[in-house]
Chains A and B, each alone.
Chain A
């Protein structure tokens, strides 16, 4: 009953709001047979492109269990290759099309599968979710490297000008071609999945890969086929949608796929035909909005965000899944709690480095560092939410934006941090409430949709952050915080304070409950943990911290604007934090400092396409590397560090050496301090790696459970002629 109610209430609300919006924005176009026909003429080609993308998403997800956030980015790369061939190299259009769709895309699919996806399939849940986000960001980095954002990349529509006239409007030849290609692809896909042996095998593998393997169906072939289908659909949709976009940009092309997410979720990522229905709904409602409604002024962003609003609605309407039992979901280890000594030591180190930098660094670098520490505070909010409770939330900057707004609204002074934190906490809980019953992927998708919609429709408003707001002066007990030195110290203090609070929280009963809930929701519920309350409160906690971070960010910049909180940047920040180890409170600082380093590289030291693409490429690729070390860099090195006999000596030694070199080269003070810290850390890492090699540590990361299929393959490798009659109890129990 309550379950039905909780699903119905948001739906009724949304329907009501939609009704009001449609009523208020009605453009006055009469609804006649002719205008409705026009709706179809314009809407169907768009819907067809969404349908192709959605089908690809469904096939890949149902065959491999991976939701491909990078689907759009694959399409983007293929569209750029199409541009390269057809415009830059002046090949005939049809040849370029065939080359990209029949050669490049399948190759890309197989490569992705072999290099990455097969391993990702067995990675912990959070990795499976974030892995393809990493791939998306990395592909965007590659594209930026090859096709500089400074140039323009127009794609000509396929087919000549003119077309067929229907109901007073022209269905252009390019749209006719679009309809033909997408229809052909849909038929081919249907035949492949329903009629061929491989297609049937693909459906069998969804249910039980090991069983399918025992029956002689190769899971690797199935997975490759799925990724080929995924890439081909992405490429087709990318190339077909490019002329509609006009001038292609890396980001817009990669994110367009989000429109298809709603369509794919219509079929709950299982049914291709329902996904087609979804695509029709999305495509037609977009066209409907463009044709019959007018959105002006502040609401100009509504039509383009309609698919995301639909995605929201679809996700919220998903039925409550039963609590999963049997541990099919595998999580990654959470860090052991740091000792008091460790916490105090590193807090002092951080203060000391901050102090040194404040003494020696230039104002530009100090400004960037202050900004970086504010980002670190925002990311700190993700530690309890993602790291401990295991809830994938990819919109940290949306929460930060709330904090920024509240702080600016209240004047921007130091005490407004608390107000910003409290308000953001409340907003986070309110936003999370309807989504709390969602798990894993749905939550991740919901957060992406939230980030985009919230950014475009709420933060964009002139009263919120659409118009730049300034903070004139900032002081605390007589200390002038507009001085970047003072601000850095202040920001570091805020970070430390919050980190200490979080460590205390993790050590207490509440922190244990969060981890328990992540490890097994069903067991947590059965010992009396209130799941909804625990999830809502951890959103609140994340909101408080991220809100304070957002307020800090605008205090440091002394202005606030919507541009400070872009969605993709938020994604890369989350990825970087995961690379560092999102279960630790030090990871946000390390991740933020990486972005400071990249910013310095791009803006001061080596401006150019390489470094600017590195900003995306590095976190993206690093996340992919995480598959092999899901705990992240910091915990891994911390483990090795603990075992290193002469860690103190190495740290101090490399640091002193670097200081001498810096003095000898006459480097400016700030750079020298950064260099010393980097050198000391690098020296330590190298030393621990050398030590670890010498110790020949056994691989502690046997993450893949051994199933019957693996036993057979091991037997095969060992050339044991037959499978033992009875598998050991330990193996079969899995």
Chain B
């Protein structure tokens, strides 16, 4: 039985009267892919923000590789091996694609002295097939490519845990399949742990080892894709039974 890489315990986030997250607990084991699903406003991005350190939880605890990081700033969590992409794109728009990745690789030198940023960037560029646009300014690329740039930048920091917030939206069918294959390889061969938020159900269900469903800020189902797919809560949320339709 391996230890959790990420442990979220009883995390709640309140915005005024609204409970964005309500007593959410989550365990993610190393080398696995976890899919987070749920209707819009269910709290998926808020949960990512809490894990990444952008949003302070009102209560609860976040542990990364056994260390309590609840009060750590995002940059400190990054140095512990956390990387993420954003639902609404946050590329460094006025830097070239190569420079975007370099910023990631270079800050990695702070906690991993021996790395050679340019070599890392070359490797990631090839992997993601971004070699052709490496000199282009990130702002000027199509949305799908910008998502890849964000993924590349995250990978360049050499993460242990990668949070992908709708990393496949804006990609076409072929690119989505490529992305799934890439993520699978990263998890299986390099032991990268991945948590992803995605609306594309076949993509999540096909790729994830574990699926967690959030609704109204609460975990309503968790388990293997098959278990979650057949759970009553998922049926209710996605097929529109009376109480939970719509989300917050």
Residues of B within 8 A of A531 (CB): 75
B203 at the interface (CB under 8 A from A): no
CB-contacts of B59-96 with A (<8 A): 71, 73-75, 78-79, 82-84, 86, 88-95
For A334, give the chain B residue with the smallest CB separation.
Answer: B94
Instruction: Find chain A residues with CB under 8 A from B157 CB.
Output: 527-528
- Could you tell me if A522 and B94 are in contact, using CB atoms closer than 8 angstroms? no
A168 CB–B CB distance under 8 Å? no
Do B55 and A527 touch (CB < 8 A)? no
| B-contact 0/1 string along A312-341, CB 8 Å cutoff | 000000000011011100011110000000
Contact of B110 among A516, A520, A528 (CB under 8 A): A528
Query: Is B184 on the interface with A (CB-CB < 8 A)?
Result: no
Q: How far, in angstroms, from A730 to B143 measured CA to CA in the complex?
A: 8
Complex CA distance for A528 and B157, rounded to whole angstroms = 8
- The answer to the question of A515 belonging to the interface, with a C-beta cut-off of 8 Å to chain B, is yes
* Whole-angstrom CA separation of A509 from B156 in the bound complex: 14
A87 to B137, CA, bound (A): 59
Question: Is A486 on the interface with B (CB-CB < 8 A)?
Answer: no
Residues of B within 8 A of A522 (CB): 54, 74, 86, 90
Whether A524 is near chain B, meaning CB under 8 Å from some CB there, is yes
Whether A31 is near chain B, meaning CB under 8 Å from some CB there, is no
- Is the beta-carbon distance between A529 and B75 smaller than 8 angstroms? yes
Total contacting residues, chain B, CB less than 8 A:
43
B94 touches A527 (CB 8 A): no
Residue from the set A331, A522, A527 with the largest chain B CB neighbour count within 10 Å:
A527
Q: Give min CB distance, A285 to chain B, whole Å.
A: 33
Q: Are A519 and B99 in contact (CB under 8 A)?
A: no
Residues B88 and A512 in contact, CB atoms below 8 Å apart: no
Partner among A523, A528, A530, A733 whose Cβ is within 8 Å of the Cβ of B90: A523
The reply to whether the CB of B102 lies closer than 8 angstroms to some CB of chain A is yes
B194 / chain A contacts, CB cutoff of 8 Å: none
A709 on interface, CB distance cutoff 8 Å: no
- Which of A528, A530, A730 counts the most chain B CB atoms within 10 A? A528
In the complex, residue of chain A having the shortest beta-carbon distance to the beta carbon of B102: A512
Closest chain-B Cβ to A533's Cβ sits at a distance in Å of: 9
B43 — which chain A residues lie within 8 A by C-beta? Answer: none
In A472-519, the 8 Å CB interface with B consists of 509, 512-513, 515-516, 518-519
A331–B156 alpha-carbon span in the complex (Å)? 24
Of residues 13 to 69 in B, which have CB atoms within 8 Å of A's CB atoms?
A: 49, 52-55
Minimum CB–CB distance from A732 to chain B (whole Å) comes to 11
Residue A526, interface by CB 8 Å: yes
Asked if B103 and A516 sit within 8 Å, CB to CB, the answer is: yes
Q: Does B107 contact A527, Cβ atoms closer than 8 Å?
A: yes
* Contact partner, A515, options B88, B92, B153, B156, Cβ 8 Å: B92
Do A526 and B83 touch across chains, with their CB atoms under 8 A apart? yes
The reply to whether A325 and B88 contact each other, CB–CB distance below 8 Å, is yes
- List A residues 657-691 near B (Cβ within 8 Å): none
Q: Is the CB of A525 within 8 A of B73?
A: yes
**Contact, CB under 8 Å: B88 / A523:** no
Contact between A526 and B106, CB atoms less than 8 A apart: no
Chain B minimum-CB-distance residue to A1: B71
Q: CB distance B78 to A528 under 8 Å?
A: yes
Residue of B74, B89, B91 with most partner-chain A CB within 10 A: B74
Chain A residues contacting B86 (CB-CB under 8 Å) are 325, 522-523
Distance, CA A512 to CA B96, complexed state (A): 10
Which residue of the partner chain A has the closest CB to B135? A336
Contact A333 to B137, CB < 8 A, known contacts A513-B106, A527-B154: yes
Q: Are A733 and B143 in contact (CB under 8 A)?
A: yes
A520 and B91: CB pair below 8 A? Answer: yes
B118 to chain A, nearest CB (A): 11
Judged by a CB distance under 8 angstroms, whether B160 is at the interface is no
When chains A and B are docked, how far (Å) is the Cα of A524 from the Cα of B157?
11
Residue interface mask A256-294, B partner, CB < 8 A = 1? 000000000000000000000000000000000000000
- List chain B residues, Cβ under 8 A from A520: 90-93
In angstroms, how far is the closest chain A Cβ from the Cβ of B241?
26
A527 touches B103 (CB 8 A): yes
B94 touches A512 (CB 8 A): no
A418 CA / B147 CA spacing, docked (Å): 46
Please pick, from B84, B88, B107, the residue contacting A529 in the complex, using a CB distance under 8 A.
Answer: B107
CB distance from A527 to the nearest CB of B (A): 4
Q: Are the CB atoms of A526 and B95 closer together than 8 Å?
A: no
Q: Once the chains bind, are B89 and A327 in contact (CB under 8 Å)?
A: yes
Contact present for B95 and A512 (CB under 8 Å): yes
Bound together, the chains give a CA A449 to CA B55 distance in angstroms of 31
Contact status of A523 and B91, CB under 8 A, knowing A509-B117, A512-B106, A528-B157: yes
Q: Are the CB atoms of B54 and A527 closer together than 8 Å?
A: no
Asked if residues B92 and A523 are in contact (CB atoms below 8 Å), the reply is yes
Cβ-based interface call for B240 (8 A)? no
Per the bound structure, the CA–CA distance linking A730 and B88 in Å amounts to: 13
How many Å from the CB of A320 to the closest CB on chain B? 10
Q: Contacting B75 at CB < 8 Å: which of A325, A519, A530?
A: A530
For the complex formed, measure the closest distance between the CB of A546 and the CB atoms of chain B, giving whole angstroms. Answer: 24
Alpha-carbon gap, A527 to B143, bound state (A)? 20
The reply to whether A529 and B103 form a contact with Cβ atoms under 8 Å apart is yes
B108 within 8 A of A: yes
State the CA gap A513–B107 with chains docked (Å): 9
Q: Which of A326, A524, A525 contacts B88 (CB 8 A)?
A: A326
Partner of A528, one of B75, B94, B170: B75
Q: Is A516 a contact of B74 with CB atoms below 8 Å? A: no
Which chain A residue shows the least CB distance to B142?
A730
Does any Cβ of A come within 8 Å of B104's Cβ? yes
Interface residues of B in 110-129 (CB under 8 A from A): 110-111, 117
Q: Which residues of B contact A325 (CB under 8 A)?
A: 49, 54, 86, 88, 90
Which positions in A face B, CB cutoff 8 Å? Answer: 1, 322-323, 325-327, 331-334, 509, 512-513, 515-516, 518-520, 522-531, 729-730, 733
- Which 5 pairs of residues, A with B, have the shortest CB-CB distance? A528-B107, A528-B78, A523-B90, A525-B74, A519-B92
22 contacts between A and B (CB under 8 A): A323-B74, A325-B88, A333-B94, A333-B139, A509-B102, A513-B103, A515-B94, A516-B103, A519-B91, A520-B91, A520-B92, A523-B153, A524-B103, A525-B54, A526-B75, A527-B107, A527-B154, A528-B75, A528-B79, A528-B104, A528-B111, A730-B143
Question: Given A520-B92, A522-B90, A526-B83, 7 other A-B contacts at CB below 8 A?
Answer: A322-B55, A518-B94, A520-B90, A520-B91, A528-B110, A529-B107, A530-B75
